[in-house]
Chains A and B, each alone.
Chain A
Amino acid sequence: MSQSVLYRTLLFVVLAAAAVVFLVPTFVRPAPALWPWHQPVRLGLDLQGGTHLLYGVDIERAIDSTIDRHAQDLERELHDAQIGAVTAEREGRTIRVRLANKDKRQEVLDLVKERFPTLAPMPSEDVEADLSLTLDPRDAQRIRDNVVEQALKIIRNRIDQFGVAEPTVQAQGSDEIVVQLPGIQDPQRAKELIGKTALLEFKLLATGPQAGTPEHPGPGVQVVYGKGDAGGRRAYLVERRTLMTGDMLTDATVRPGTATEGMAVDFTLDARGGKLFGEISSANVGRNLAIVLDNYVESAPTIREPITGGRGQITGRFDFAEAQDLANVLRNGALPAPLKLIEERTVGPSLGQDSIRKGVLSFVVGSALVVVFMLVYYRGGGLIADAALFLNVLFLVGAFAAFGATLSLPGIAGIVLTIGMAVDANVLILERIREELRLGKTPRAAIETGYERAWYAIRDSNVTTLFSGLILFQFGTGPVRGFAVTLIIGIFTSLLTGVFGTRVVYDLLVSRRRLTTVSV
């Protein structure tokens, strides 16, 4: 018994210490240099001011255009393979291949199987009919997954250039992207930046002594960041001169590579581009050509041989998805699917400040009312409940800091509300203890029974509140989610402090002396 009390006391001491560690950076700025935690509680846009943009990604359009492209490629390939007169067109989600010579049917199927593994022929009894091909559902799904991923990546790159402190760009649901720009009041420029067509440039990697270092790039050399080897960021030294831009590129496709070569991306240039690229590649064999999208190096393949004739190939150590991305970048040089701005919210800085002030004020007044009430009504028991309430808030806000959850105005309201509801457990227990005392039980027995009997009601009522919190979380976005998160964390901290925490105090009281009265 005494040992259990000791352990439980220690648990709360440790938790409280941890909460303090997590919270210091929020209230002491700057936090002491050696302090183990540096992340203050993140404030939502409604509290710090800024712009929230919600974009819808038109994924189905992206799938349509992928199928369109496959149809074009297929038609070209069939033409190159000299399989008579053929047309391939997209009709809805299928590609209809019309053959002049039905005998070539099998040849076409073989070619599709070899070169277009993601296209599957639709079963048909009629050998005389046109051939219908559909996109493999797994590939359609991959496009769905990829499109948002890629749009996110591009938007992130662009926002990075915008120079906002701690921007948030993340997917929401299956086809939406949220962009949050703290401190930005006039979102016009940000919106233009996000919506614009990407700039695709080809530049040579700088070599030799003139290149300099990333800290001191040589003359005519600039530092451009890009994808590193292990998924990290890496600084590339590239020549400032843009050799060619993406508008000369007409197409790019993934070619499933051989075992030795890995994946390859084929690209086609228009006449002018073909000529230009021929000159560039002839003059720079052995050097690396950086493919720069929106000032971000996507890839920097080595030029192995002069590329004339307007067609080239990029090989590298990338997997299929990466190759697909690269092809996408080359082909579109732009967002993989049209974006539509569906929501725009701007909060001025004065409102954010005002909201924090009012939120804190309601918190102080609300909790003071509850604390005083508990003290007056339950005296000793109220004091213990109030101490638990203090720990509760400490843990709750500490959890926000520790998990990096975002505190919004409804979140603050949730904390205030948690205080009002947390004492419910204490009231249930104390009322029960009172009842048991009235029945003539000793304080010790009354406390024991009080906790035991009250527990069922406390558990059931908190489970239902938890349900509503979870549903709220599922339903809501942004600030509403913040409220739900507060409510959910609050249930756990309330149970921890209000039920288990206060019990430790009573156990201590009971074990220390012979209790003849208990103040409840």
Chain B
Amino acid sequence: MAWEEIVQRYNRRIYNICYRFAGSADDAQDLTQEVFIKMYRTLSSYDVERGAFMTWLTTMTRNLLVDHFRKTKQDRVTDSMDAAPSEHEDAMPLSEQIEDKRLPPDARVQSRETGEVVHEALQKLSPELREAVILRDLQDMDYRDIASVLKVPEGTVKSRINRGRAELARLLQRIYRQVM
């Protein structure tokens, strides 16, 4: 397969993973480029027998996202619903943090798309939970492949997915409860 064909075929998928994980379109574009540059340099090292190309590519993407996360330190203090709430959290609940403060509640509901709200709520998940639900619910990867990409046992993957989904639901429930 020619290099251009690989780029044409996989750029959208990689961009979506990066966009959902990093949160911003600009970061996603830069990260997608980085993924392909890295892939271009290491393409010869890909071994067909060691796994599917998509898994290899997703692993590379995930590793870059982890590096990016460490560099930018964004979401370092993630608000986990499972963790004990801190004073800061008491002062500003998660549902308030992801709200647009410039508009009144009614206008907020009308002006913002549901997808955007979910996308913003997703950014509030811890990176471990976020990557797990992105790979499962947005990329439709099976649990074994996700375990291979994240380098954790399948049971851990399922647990993270469970927690990620539940936490997201709680976040969104809070938001909608407040604006209703």
Question: Do A and B form a real pair?
Answer: no
B residues sitting closer than 8 Å to A (CB atoms) are none
